Amino acid sequence: GIELGKLMASTGYITLDPGFVNTGAASSAITYIDGDAGILRYRGYPIEQLAQDSNFIEVSYLLIYGELPSKSQLEEFTSRINRHTLLHEDLKRFFDGFPRDAHPMPVLSSAVSALSTFYQDSLNPFDEPNVEMSTIRLLAKVPTLAAYAYKKSIGQPFLYPDNSLGLVENFLRMTFGLPAEPYEVDPDIAKALDMLFILHADHEQNCSTSTVRLVGSSEANLFASVSAGIQALFGPLHGGANAAVLEMLEGIQADGGDVGTFVERVKNKEEGVKLMGFGHRVYKNYDPRAKIIKKTADEILRKIGGNDQLLDIAMKLEETALSDDYFVERKLYPNVDFYTGLIYRALGFPTKYFTVLFALGRLPGWIAHWREMINDPATKIGRPRQIYTGERQRDYVSIDNR
């Protein structure tokens, strides 16, 4: 493939592939997807097994280092992450500068970008020990930054991390706890969130991961590259879809809950009306993550409450779409985002914050891809070509004669 690409370039021909629908940009050993069969595996392990039996820290290790950790490796990895959860006090002050109603995604991205000013040893992407340190710092500090982005938005004081807790428990406490009150982490909520993070942890060359790799291909450091990935995830066609799904379900509810009319509007391609949480560039079958999440949504909403009416609307919507030729012909099935918003909402997160949770989950995937890219001798700076369609050549006209 690489040789053919070089040959084509030397002949002056350019492959035009908007959206990179069929253009491979990298060889990767991290995640395998068979979109037609609905298969997803991290480092060869089926997502269903990891979601059921593993945990987010272990999956992060697996994605980044390629193998499941031994007991002692996992202990060491966990304790290193725990030792780095604190933020520099000056970095905390960054949050004061943002408007209170700022969307938490650009706040998070800015704070991650700022990490390379606090840890200048991260600037050389080929310095192994420092890349290792940046990896641990990101895994440890992004949950703290994410919790502070939330606290900022509701005007509550920031809590220091409690490193006797696990990563997800610590994050929940820093998000929902108050300094003067003890915060009991509900183990069912922690488990559900941990599993959602596992399901989001990697998805090969998606928009945000490709962004991380492209930015990193210029030898920009890990923090800068991940910060760019967070911005790519912000878009409603990517990570922002989980919030858009909930807004769609609430809209249908407000209009009286008529699913059929909404589906007709989608099929008529009314401007701005899409079935959010449906369709995927790679999956032309049921997204295996959506299958697991649908079951969890049902269990969690039953157990801790939440808006069951919205779950009913979601299920009806799915049923209607899956028996409609428009969606069948286009192979449009629920994707990972269709049911996640309902769970996040039941766990107490506001809609604006959903995409931040996606970013927390995707973090180890971004790190694993950046490291794979930087260590791959075949990596070249990403630099797509174009077909120029503008004016061929013309002479400058002075302003008085235009």
As annotated, the active-site residues are: 280, 337
* Burial class (CB within 10 angstroms; exposed 0-12, middle 13-18, buried 19+) of 164: exposed
- Verify binding: residue 108, ligand ACO, rule CB under 6 A: no
**Quick check: helix, strand or coil at residue 237?**
coil
Dist. CA 163–CA 86, nearest whole Å = 9
Closest CA to 346 of 166, 219, 186, 208: 186
Cβ 356 to ligand ACO shortest distance, Å: 14
Q: Are strands 31-34 and 39-42 parallel, antiparallel or unpaired?
A: antiparallel
- Verify binding: residue 278, ligand ACO, rule CB under 6 A: yes
Cβ 343 to ligand ACO shortest distance, Å: 15
- The span of 61-69, 252-260, 306-314, 335-343 binding ligand ACO (CB under 6 A) equals 335-343
- Residues 369, 379 contacting (CB under 8 angstroms): no
Which are the contacts of 276, defined by CB distance < 8 A and separation ≥ 6?
A: 236, 241, 244, 245, 247, 248, 337
Dist. CA 338–CA 218, nearest whole Å = 35
One residue of 139, 159, 241, 293 binding ligand ACO per CB under 6 A: 241
- Other CB atoms within a 10 A radius of the CB of residue 198 amount to 25
Cβ 104 to ligand ACO shortest distance, Å: 18
Dist. CA 140–CA 135, nearest whole Å = 9
Cβ 248 to ligand ACO shortest distance, Å: 10
Nearer to ligand ACO, 223 or 354 (CB): 354
- Residues 203, 33 contacting (CB under 8 angstroms): yes
- Residues 355, 105 contacting (CB under 8 angstroms): yes
Cβ 106 to ligand ACO shortest distance, Å: 18
- Residues 86, 174 contacting (CB under 8 angstroms): no
- The span of 150-158, 211-219, 237-245, 251-259 binding ligand ACO (CB under 6 A) equals 237-245
Backbone torsions φ then ψ of 41, nearest 5 degrees: -135, 135
Torsion of CA 79, 80, 82, 83, to 10 degrees: 120
- The span of 6-14, 70-78, 80-88, 328-336 binding ligand ACO (CB under 6 A) equals 328-336
One residue of 41, 88, 191, 274 binding ligand ACO per CB under 6 A: 274
One residue of 151, 173, 238, 294 binding ligand ACO per CB under 6 A: 238
One residue of 330, 375, 384, 385 binding ligand ACO per CB under 6 A: 330
Tokens of 105: 């995604």
- Verify binding: residue 293, ligand ACO, rule CB under 6 A: no
- The span of 7-15, 47-55, 147-155, 278-286 binding ligand ACO (CB under 6 A) equals 278-286
- Verify binding: residue 332, ligand ACO, rule CB under 6 A: yes
- Verify binding: residue 281, ligand ACO, rule CB under 6 A: yes
Cβ 279 to ligand ACO shortest distance, Å: 2
Nearer to ligand ACO, 148 or 358 (CB): 358
DSSP at 40: E
Residue with tokens 């604006």: 352
- Verify binding: residue 336, ligand ACO, rule CB under 6 A: yes
- Verify binding: residue 334, ligand ACO, rule CB under 6 A: no
- Verify binding: residue 354, ligand ACO, rule CB under 6 A: no
Cβ 27 to ligand ACO shortest distance, Å: 22
- Verify binding: residue 266, ligand ACO, rule CB under 6 A: yes
- The span of 58-66, 149-157, 213-221, 331-339 binding ligand ACO (CB under 6 A) equals 331-339
Render 175-225 in DSSP notation, one character per residue.
HH-BTTB--PPPHHHHHHHHHHHHHHS--SS-HHHHHHHHHHTTT--HHHH
Quick one: how far is CA 187 from the chain centroid? 24
Dist. CA 352–CA 153, nearest whole Å = 10
Cβ 206 to ligand ACO shortest distance, Å: 6
Q: Considering only residues 62-101, where is the footprint of ligand ACO by CB under 6 A?
A: none
Dist. CA 299–CA 311, nearest whole Å = 11
- Verify binding: residue 337, ligand ACO, rule CB under 6 A: yes
Q: Which residues bind ligand ACO (CB under 6 A)?
A: 19, 237-238, 241, 266, 274-281, 330, 332, 335-337
